[in-house]
Amino acid sequence: MAGSTERALGVPRVLEPTGVLPQAAQRLDASPEIGPDEVRIAVERLNLDAASFRQLSEAHHGDGAAVRAAVLEIVRTRGKMQNPVTGSGGMLIGTVDAVGPESPLGLRVGDRVATLVSLTLTPLSLSDGLARWDGRSEQVPAEGTAILFARSIAAVLPADLPDAVSLAVLDVCGAPAATARVVERAGARSVVVLGAAGKSGCLSLAAARAAGATELTGLVRDEAEAAALRATGLADRVVVADATDPLAVAAAVGTPADVTVVCVDVPGAEHGAILATADGGTVVFFSMATSFPAAALGAEGMAADVTMLVGNGYTPGHAALALGLYRSAPGVRALIEPRIHP
Ligand code: NAP
């Protein structure tokens, strides 16, 4: 019989290898029967994380049916949606349909919720073959069941926003929270965001401004994104460069910033981000496509005295902060809405 800490962390759901927590597991038990401190959710929609969806799309040359088959196979074999190449997942929304008597999450049957823990550790079983999904968007209409542990988090969906919006914003809500925290703690003035016209990017710009930063630079990949970002006024300066080309990033950014936030969904942005950051500054690697060796060894090789943070998807208050920015910043809405497929 598992101890309460083990149960709270979902350890009894780990099938292989034994001795790891669910996030590191190869395979989870996704059966719908719940333990006394678990919650079962009737799944309505998944949000695949951007790095994972891009990798799957590129690997299958944009063939939606093949992407759908790949996602089904991952969930079938792993009992969770964890892309084996990127290691990343996403999150989901659904309706609570069973609550164990010892669950501390405060959820009730019938609550419509977004899970704020990654799909990479959420036991998931799909029952509809993802028949309503064309494999061409990050948001996946789905039927099945998901399990939350005692030590999970979920947010009741706000009534004033469409589900697709809440899902997209909550998926990346760790980014603005991390940005705000770093800017506030460091008293940072200048901030560069790589991938600034994307979902986490524009939220991070808005969060940096609200936290007191006064020189905001948004780096985007092309003129179309630059025009869209300029129109929002979220950044004081918009520059165009390939985030995976370090010298191009350094040239475009110019004077390095106090804080750099990496919000692209492609690998290879580590060295540009380090070059964009002043000595004594901080890089927040929110992107799941970040390589720890590339960041650590790259900084060492450039003798760059920067603090590098892994973008923890959880910060207390992160969901409310991101939804608040979405509601209050028209520029954030203007950039996120076109990215959402209802
Ligand atoms: P998104 O909305 O797709 O935004 C990514 C942006 O980066 C897009 O504007 C994209 O441009 C741009 N971009 C891509 N390649 C680029 C390049 N070479 N140079 C410059 N810009 C480039 O993605 P998101 O949902 O904000 O997610 C961003 C990252 O956060 C992903 O890596 C995701 O995995 C990660 N994430 C992390 C957590 C966490 O807990 N740490 C949670 C969720 C997501 P195009 O649109 O033109 O391609």
- pLDDT for res 14: 98
Q: What is the CATH number of the domain that holds 300?
A: 3.40.50.720
Are 143 and 202 part of one and the same domain?
A: no
Over residues 136-159, the pLDDT tens digits come to: 999 999 999 999 999 999 999 999
Structural domain includes residue 141: yes
Tokens of 325: 């920015």
Are 287 and 186 part of one and the same domain?
A: yes
Please say whether the beta carbons of 39 and 103 come within 8 A: yes
- Sign, Cα dihedral of 192, 196, 199, 203: positive
Structural domain includes residue 166: no
The CB of 87 under 6 Å from ligand 1? The reply is: no
Are 24 and 135 part of one and the same domain?
A: yes
The CB of 13 under 6 Å from ligand 1? The reply is: no
Are 225 and 289 part of one and the same domain?
A: yes
- pLDDT for res 144: 98
Are 153 and 191 part of one and the same domain?
A: no
Structural domain includes residue 162: no
Structural domain includes residue 127: yes
Are 254 and 151 part of one and the same domain?
A: no
| 157 CB-side CA count, 13 A | 24
Q: How many domains does the chain have?
A: 2
Give the torsion through C-alpha atoms of 78, 88, 2, 102, to 10 deg. -110
Are 206 and 117 part of one and the same domain?
A: no
Its domain, for residue 301, covers 174-339
Place of tokens 């380090």: 274
Are 150 and 178 part of one and the same domain?
A: no
The CB of 284 under 6 Å from ligand 1? The reply is: no
Structural domain includes residue 169: no
- Predicted TM-score (pTM) of the model is 0.93
Are 188 and 239 part of one and the same domain?
A: yes
Q: Quick one: three-class SS letters along the chain?
A: CCCHHHHHHCHHHEEECCCCCHHHCCEECCCCCCCCCCEEEEEEEEEECHHHHHHHHHHCCCCHHHHHHHHHHHHHHHCCCCCCCCCCCEEEEEEEEEECCCCCCCCCCCCEEEECCCHHHCCEEECCCCCCCCCCCCEEEEEEEEEECCCCCEEECCCCCCHHHHHHHHHCCHHHHHHHHHHHHHCCCEEEEECCCCHHHHHHHHHHHHCCCCEEEEEECCHHHHHHHHHHCCCCEEEECCCCCHHHHHHHHCCCEEEEEECCCCCCCHHHHHHCEEEEEEEEECCCCCCHHHHHHHHHHCCCCCEEEECCCCCCCHHHHHHHHHHHCHHHHHHHHHHCCC
Domain end, chosen from 157, 184, 209, is at 157
Domain end, chosen from 97, 128, 157, is at 157
Structural domain includes residue 291: yes
Which residue type does 252 have?
A
Tokens of 22: 């669910």
- pLDDT for res 3: 81
Place of tokens 């962390």: 9
Are 113 and 242 part of one and the same domain?
A: no
Cα(262) to centroid(ligand 1), Å: 8
CA distance 313 to 325: 17
Report residues of the chain scoring pLDDT below 50: none
Please say whether the beta carbons of 49 and 80 come within 8 A: no
Please say whether the beta carbons of 339 and 169 come within 8 A: no
Over residues 89-122, the pLDDT tens digits come to: 999 999 999 999 999 999 999 999 999 999 999 9
Cα(244) to centroid(ligand 1), Å: 12
Structural domain includes residue 298: yes
Burial 69-102 (b: 16+ CB within 10 A, else e): ebbbebbeebbbbbbeebebbbbbbbebbbbbee
- pLDDT for res 74: 98
Domain end, chosen from 108, 128, 157, is at 157
β-strands 277-285, 237-240 pairing: unpaired
Which residue has the least CA distance to atom 35 on ligand 1? Answer: 287
The CB of 311 under 6 Å from ligand 1? The reply is: yes
Cα(11) to centroid(ligand 1), Å: 31
Cα(157) to centroid(ligand 1), Å: 24
Structural domain includes residue 165: no
